[in-house]
């Protein structure tokens, strides 16, 4: 299994990241894409990859919500300074994708006039980087599923991965028709929306994620990569197939989208 979206530099993992990764390997997780939120996360993710090169594959990008957990705000153009692109260029040979990037139109983040537009502008800038480097975009689209997919289509994006998609299955299917992929977290066990989503999205367009430390099977409890088996079992149950088929197909999907994962699979 491959975890295609995890925040493993989060403060929740400061004391025991080695144990978390060891436990994941024991449970059959062979790799994890570590994504970023702020520019400050970039070097942290690269350092984590250097510590665990046989498990961590980094993605770099600015999340549409910035700030601290207690003082969150919408992304602005000022956040996308020259260092962002310089750092991405510096680590272009290591990173597998650009992310976590996207749109977040939750009312508390876009109450100010122009917030949506600034998010879109920074998203477009990061999509342009991904296209220039021929990398997949690892996309956040909370309360913005339809506009996110519409913008990806408008920008001519062919390699897109939408994580923890919270829109309607009919909207997700618009992405499926574009060849986009959707990753499912362990919170599926308590999310009717996610359950409806996997009933319609083909296995050939599904991926596994944890979004660790968030979106675990139990609300407010720390999520970890070893919880991927929960996702596998749920998808297998809904689609009436063997869990081994879910593991194989989602792993192949991940390698197709993120070729740098291949070196870990062949070990």
Residue pLDDT, tens place only, 47-105: 999 999 999 999 999 999 998 777 899 999 999 999 999 999 999 999 999 999 999 99
Average pLDDT over residues 23-30: 98
Whole-number Å distance between alpha carbons of 231 and 185? 6
Residue that has been written with the tokens 């099977």 in this structure: 217
pLDDT value of position 71: 87
Where is the binding site for a divalent metal cation, in residues? Answer: 5, 7, 100, 140, 163, 211
Q: Which residues, including other chains, have CB under 8 Å from residue 243's CB and lie 6 or more apart?
A: 232, 233, 236
Report the half-sphere exposure of 121 (CA within 13 A, side-chain side). Answer: 13
Whole-number Å distance between alpha carbons of 244 and 117? 43
Average pLDDT over residues 138-154: 98
Average pLDDT over residues 152-157: 98
Contact assessment for residue 187 and residue 230, using Cβ atoms and an 8 Å cutoff: no
Whole-number Å distance between alpha carbons of 70 and 93? 34
Q: How confident is the model at residue 114 (pLDDT cuts 50, 70, 90)?
A: confident
Evaluate the CA torsion angle 230, 231, 237, 238 in order and state its sign: positive
- Give start and end residues of each alpha helix (H) in the chain: 17-26, 41-51, 82-90, 115-133, 145-154, 169-177, 192-200, 228-239, 243-257, 262-265
Where is the binding site, in residues? Answer: 5, 7, 100, 140, 163, 211
pLDDT value of position 112: 73
Whole-number Å distance between alpha carbons of 163 and 58? 16
Nearest C-alpha neighbor of 99 from the set 141, 68, 71: 141
Q: Which residues, including other chains, have CB under 8 Å from residue 148's CB and lie 6 or more apart?
A: 102, 103, 139, 141, 162
- 168 by Cβ neighbours in 10 Å (0-12 / 13-18 / 19+) ranks as middle
CATH of 2-265, one of 3.40.470.10, 3.90.1300.10, 3.20.20.140, 1.10.150.20: 3.20.20.140
């Amino acid at each position: 299994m491959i975890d295609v979206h995890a925040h493993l530099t989060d403060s929740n993992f400061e004391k025991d990241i080695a144990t978390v990764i060891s436990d994941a390997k024991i449970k059959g997780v062979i790799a994890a894409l570590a994504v970023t939120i702020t520019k400050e996360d970039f070097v942290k993710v690269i350092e984590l990859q250097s510590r665990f090169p046989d498990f961590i594959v980094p993605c770099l990008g600015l999340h549409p919500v910035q700030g601290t957990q207690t003082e969150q705000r919408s992304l602005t153009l000022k956040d996308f300074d020259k260092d962002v692109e310089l750092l991405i260029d510096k680590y272009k040979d290591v990173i597998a994708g650009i992310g976590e990037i996207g749109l977040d139109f939750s009312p508390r983040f876009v109450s100010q006039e122009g917030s949506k537009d600034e998010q879109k502008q920074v998203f477009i800038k990061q999509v342009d980087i991904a296209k220039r480097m021929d990398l997949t975009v690892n996309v956040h689209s909370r309360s913005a599923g339809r506009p996110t997919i519409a913008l990806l289509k408008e920008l001519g994006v062919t390699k897109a991965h939408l994580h923890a998609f919270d829109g309607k299955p009919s909207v997700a299917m618009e992405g499926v028709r574009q060849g986009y992929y959707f990753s499912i977290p362990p919170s599926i066990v308590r999310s009717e929306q996610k359950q409806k989503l996997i009933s319609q999205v083909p296995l050939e367009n599904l991926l596994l994620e944890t979004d660790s430390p968030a979106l675990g099977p139990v609300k407010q409890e720390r999520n970890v990569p070893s919880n991927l088996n929960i996702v596998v079992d749920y998808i297998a149950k809904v689609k009436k197939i063997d869990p081994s088929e879910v593991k194989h197909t989602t792993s192949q999907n991940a390698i197709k989208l993120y070729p740098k994962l291949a070196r870990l699979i062949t070990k």
